[in-house]
Structure formats: C-alpha cells, structure tokens
Amino acid sequence: MPNTPPPDFASLSLAEIARLAEEHRLPPVESWNPAHCGDSEMRIARDGTWYHQGSPIGRPAMVRLFSTILRREPTGGFVLVTPVEKLDIAVEDAPFVAVELKVEGEGATMRLAFRLNTGDVVVAGPDHPLRIEAREDGPHPYLVVRRGLDALVARSVYYELAQLALAQDGAAPGVWSQGVFFPLEPEA
C-alpha cells in the first residue's frame, strides 16, 4: 500500500524484506497509454528529493504514491502516468536512491537488500542487477529497480559495497547477491 509508512528496515530479516518486495503491488503503468497532457512541473533531484513547481514535496506518502505511477518511456524520458493522463517529469539522474543496505550470508551465498528513499525494498539479483558507470567525476553505482527505472546507490552504501568486495577473495572486486556476481568496476 503506497500510503503506508515503510517498516523499519534494520529490524527486518532478509526473508521478510524479500517477501515485502514480492508483495509490493504496483499499478500496471506499462499497459496505460493515455494522450500526453503536458508537464507535471515536477522534478526528481540527484539526491532523490521530489520537487513540484520548485518546492520540495514534504509528504513522504505523496512521494511514495507518485513513485508508483512513474514510467520510463522508450525515448528515455520519464512520465507520471494514469489511465487517463500522462505528464512529463524531469529526473536529474535516477528516479530513486538506494539509501540503506542489509547483507545476509557471505561469498556466493550472499544476499544484498537495499532500501530506497521511497521506502521500497529491492534485493539485488538476476532481476535487479547492480552496475557501475564510469563518469568524469568518478564511478556511479546503480541498481535496477523495475521496468527501466534505476536507483542511484548512495555514496555511503557504495562504500559498504566496496568494503564487502575488499573482504572477498576474488580476482576482480565485486559482490554476490542471489547467486549473481556483480563487479564493482565501471562497465567498459
């Protein structure tokens, strides 16, 4: 339920996190194709703050609700979509930010769960891969959230991932989650 406050991430087991992620029902925005209605006058800043007409949206429940109707278009732009309208929304980097990490297991049996700035939880794995993009200002880590929508991994969380990678005995630095190895080096 989008208006329900998210549970305390630190108190949840990874099994509970995985169950919550599976239960999270989202509207079928990919099947909605209304006419384009204009600009929402909304923006998602690089730090994950949502703005409307230049002012931050202060109600977390409202941000969570809007995040459920966010879609990436085939052209690369972002829209808020309902069955009857589609409005552009500006996204400075990624629409979500992974702000907290929970780790269970080690080595190839490790599982990594991330809490997003919207309260959503995502477990990295085959359907939610991690990747690192090289940019002029350094590496930018991302987690695939859903249907073309990514989360920028917050710097503090990236440092936790790097610490996990350094503790691994492997040729390339990286982390495992749900049986998938994710290198923590930028993609070529």
pLDDT in tens, 102-143: 999 988 899 999 999 998 899 999 999 999 999 898 889 999
For residue 20, report the phi and psi dihedrals to the nearest 5 degrees. -60, -40
Assign residue 126 a region (left: φ > 0; alpha: ψ between -120 and 50; beta: otherwise).
alpha
14, 104 Cβ separation under 8 angstroms: yes
For 166, the token pair is 């350094």
Percent of the chain with pLDDT over 70: 85
23 to each of 17, 19, 68, 121, 181, how far by Cα in Å?
10, 6, 14, 11, 26
Confidence of residue 4 (pLDDT cuts 50, 70, 90): low
pLDDT band, very low/low/confident/very high, at 2 (cuts 50, 70, 90): very low
Point out which residues pair with 157 in neighbouring strands.
Answer: none
- pTM, 2 dp: 0.84
Residue entry with tokens 């190895």? 181
Position 2: which residue type?
P
User: b/e per residue, 172-183, with b = 16+ CB within 10 A?
Assistant: eebbbbbebebe
Length of the chain: 188
Q: Domains for the chain: give ranges and CATH numbers.
A: 24-91 (3.10.540.10), 96-181 (2.30.270.10)
DSSP element (H, E) containing 111 = strand 111-116
CA distance 124 to 98: 11
Phi, psi of 37 (to 5 degrees): -110, -5
pLDDT score of 1: 41
Q: What are phi and psi for residue 15, nearest 5 degrees?
A: -65, -40
